[in-house]
Chains A and B, each alone.
Chain A
Amino acid sequence: MSDRTNLVSRALPVAGLLLALMVPFYLSGFWLLLGVMVMAAAIGAIGLNLLVGTAGQLSLAHAFFLAVGAYAYCWFAGAPGPGGGGITLTGLELPPLLAAVLAVATAGAAGLLFSPVAGRVRGLYLGLASLALVFLGQHLLFNLSSVTGGFNGRNVPELSVLGFELTGRDPELTLLGVPFGDRERQWYVALVCVVVAYVFARRVLAGRPGRALVLMRENETAAGVVGVPVSRYKASAFVLSSMYAGLAGVLLAQAFQRVVPEYFGLVLSVEYLAMIVIGGLGSVTGAVLGAAFVTGLPSLLSHYSGLFTFLAEPGTSGVDPAVAARLVFGVAIVAVILLEQGGLVALGRRLRPAARPRVDAAGSGDPGPPDPVGQPALPPQDMTTASS
């Protein structure tokens, strides 16, 4: 409300961006890889949140579209040749940047192919129908082995421009005494992508399409009556969300350097759903926070497993870091739905009510408490008892 808070809300993203630009000069490979994975997941989560949180279309198919992006990139950019297990791989050997664009487009096209179902089928039926894509996708990944490499997966070609590898190590590069290897470069590629994805999603949500999608979620008939072309918007939301997933898939493939089918199963879809629920349904910032939480937790737990003496070594029957992380995010999903459906974003908003000078267009559809602008913050226990 005051000039001061306005300034803070403007300066914060700039400061955050500057900090993110400096990170590769200071942090080690582990943190950079984690950061790249979080940023890639954030892009996927933003896309899913547009679909589920904003448009109200439950989808469990996100893993499928991530897979389409990742594998399409490998196929467009990859060279034909022998793969693992006696498989002959095919590939188009296109310039990697073009391949990345085509991969995102392919994911969008896959979304478009499914949109007749998405346009007709509603609510929970759509959530259940989208399961079909995950299982069909797994089947295709294992069986289309000349494209996917089958069970053994496929190596991921480096992203490069005119011979300069954006995600690899060639040619050698040292900036300010810091060697810029693959992880450092991937960091910047992911950062550019996540910023573009973030800003684009905010723009979409703040404009006409965003309001139309929110109206559709609240009341499809009313939206149709006021002139929203409902089925076209539904299909567009599905396609846009698939393209976000495709981009996330390309970036994740870069981080992993090899794509394997098992990764893109139902568990991954559930993880993405967890991200947007924990972060806050319908909020772009929430998707990023949720992605950081769900993606970061297992890596952090295993990195610091020495500190958590109650965690067992992986492979033993005890609670190892991966199991602990899954338990935490399962509980977090339930807790968020039961206690604070706005997720981390609403929680943060509640903790600092004064620092919100304007209504967050992206978060306006959030089913949590009313935006506490201009009123004293209620302690959380009051909020939970008030409505039960």
Chain B
Amino acid sequence: MTRLLELLAVGLSLGMLYALIAMGFVIIYKGTRVVNFAQGSLLALGAYAVARIAPSAGFWAAAAAGIAITVAGSLLIRFLLSRARGHDHMALAIATIGVDVVLTTELTRRIGPDVLSMLDPWGADTVQLGGVTVPQARIAAMAVAVAVLGLLLALFRYTGWGVAMRAASADAEAASLMGIRLGRVATVSWMIGGALAAGAGVFMSTFPSAGLDSHSSTIALAAIPAIVLGGLDSTHGAIIGGIAVGMARTLTAGYGSELGFLGAGFGDVMPYVLMVAVLMWRPSGLFGTREFIRV
């Protein structure tokens, strides 16, 4: 029982981090209809900047700088994509894969075989909650994720930008005709997407992870089942998908010995199995907008 509770706690906190990453994908997709495959390298870029700056400036200043750098990076991608001819979304998605290759290659080269520590204030401390041991870093991650996701949902609902983004995502042409500045919506979407990636990158590289290593840019890929599960253009879907993926991973890995027939490390594959199963049932995810076709 304790073990199950512990796994649920870990799964939930991991799930909230996936929700942060997934939210980044979804916001950029809603604002610009681009699936940003470079989200993974942005995540690694943010964490890398924090790890490099923290020794001299301290964690909090480094975190701010890391987020700023990542936002600048994602704005650069937005600028590049806006130069593309035509607006074929598949082509734009492929262009972000190109950006990802460049950025990941360079970061992997710089990180090399090292494991970079975030020098975060939580360290390896743990807390006992009703007999369940939870790392402090995970609790901090959860608190930040809940606050940020809550703030974002409020933004969508109550601010002009949120309304503009929802309108742009529902029908870009009509929104544009009604005077919504699609360029500004896109810019803000990319900025938020970049900031979310950086934040998630920092927390993904804190305890119980050893730190940032050269494989860290693949973390964001693990959030892809979350956005597909929830639906590419659903913010609620991103959160629910994120939690589902975090739980599926943690529980499958936690009960790995009972699930031995599936092979070692099946926890990493489980979210993808779940994703395909959901897609077979609902081809646009659980909460994604279904496409209606008029002839």
List residues of A whose CB falls within 8 A of some B CB.
52, 56, 58, 116-117, 120-125, 127-129, 131-132, 135-136, 139-140, 142-144, 220-221, 225, 266, 270, 273-274, 277, 281, 317, 319, 323, 326-327, 329-334, 337-339, 341, 367, 387-388
Contacts and interface: CB of A to CB of B under 8 A. Distances in A.
Given A122-B283, A128-B224, A129-B275, A277 B265 contact: no
B228 interface: yes
A131 B272 contact: yes
B96 to A, nearest CB: 9
Contact of B85 (A131, A333, A388): A388
B105 interface: yes
Given A128-B35, A387-B85, A121 B279 contact: yes
Interface string B257-285: 00000011110110011011001100111
B250 to A, nearest CB: 17
Interface residues of B, number: 50
Q: Which of B83, B84, B85, B110 has the most CB of A within 10 A?
A: B85
A124 B272 contact: no
Given A140-B263, A331-B102, 14 more contacts: A58-B90, A120-B283, A124-B93, A128-B224, A131-B272, A136-B269, A221-B293, A277-B98, A327-B106, A333-B95, A338-B85, A338-B95, A341-B85, A387-B85
B105 A332 contact: no
A142 B265 CA distance: 10
B171 interface: no
A58 B295 CA distance: 24
B175 interface: no
Contacts of B272: 131-132, 135-136
Given A58-B90, A338-B83, A120 B95 contact: no
A193 to B, nearest CB: 27
24 contacts: A117-B276, A121-B283, A124-B89, A127-B35, A127-B90, A127-B93, A128-B227, A128-B275, A139-B268, A142-B264, A143-B263, A270-B97, A274-B101, A277-B98, A323-B109, A326-B102, A327-B102, A330-B102, A334-B80, A338-B80, A341-B86, A341-B88, A367-B86, A367-B91
Contacts of A281: 91
Contacts of B227: 128
A330 B85 contact: no
A143 to B, nearest CB: 3
A370 B167 CA distance: 34
Nearest to A225: B295
Given A123-B90, A135-B272, A323-B109, A129 B97 contact: no
Contact of A273 (B86, B97, B284, B285): B97
B195 interface: no
Contacts of A319: 109
A203 to B, nearest CB: 26
B55 interface: no
B283 A125 contact: yes
Given A135-B268, A326-B105, A122 B291 contact: yes
The A interface is mostly helix, strand or loop, or mixed, namely: helix
Interface in B78-118: 80, 83-86, 88-95, 97-102, 105-106, 109-110, 112
Contacts of A327: 101-102, 105-106
Nearest to A332: B98
Contacts of A58: 90, 93-94
A225 B35 CA distance: 29
Interface in B209-241: 218, 221, 224-225, 227-228, 232
Contact of A334 (B88, B90, B102, B264): B102
B98 A331 contact: yes
A116 B276 CA distance: 10
Given A330-B102, A367-B86, A388-B85, A341 B80 contact: no
Query: Across chains A and B, which 9 residue pairs bring their CB atoms closest together, nearest first?
Result: A333-B98, A143-B263, A330-B101, A330-B102, A132-B272, A337-B95, A334-B98, A326-B105, A139-B269
Nearest to B275: A132
Interface of B: 35, 80, 83-86, 88-95, 97-102, 105-106, 109-110, 112, 218, 221, 224-225, 227-228, 232, 263-266, 268-269, 272-273, 275-276, 279-280, 283-285, 291, 293, 295
B42 to A, nearest CB: 14
Contacts of B273: 132, 136
Contact of B88 (A139, A332, A367): A367
Contacts of A326: 101-102, 105
Contacts of B112: 317
A362 B244 CA distance: 43
A387 B102 CA distance: 27
B111 to A, nearest CB: 10
A339 B263 CA distance: 46
A273 B225 CA distance: 21
Nearest to A335: B98
B88 A333 contact: no
B221 A334 contact: no
A330 B283 contact: no
A326 B80 CA distance: 19
Contacts of A131: 221, 224, 272
B99 to A, nearest CB: 6
B280 A117 contact: yes
Nearest to A139: B269
A52 B91 CA distance: 10
A89 B110 CA distance: 39
B97 A117 contact: no
Contacts of B218: 266
A320 to B, nearest CB: 8
A229 B265 CA distance: 40
B109 A317 contact: yes
A339 B95 CA distance: 11
Contact of B89 (A123, A221, A270, A329): A123
Contacts of A221: 293, 295
Contacts of A142: 263-265
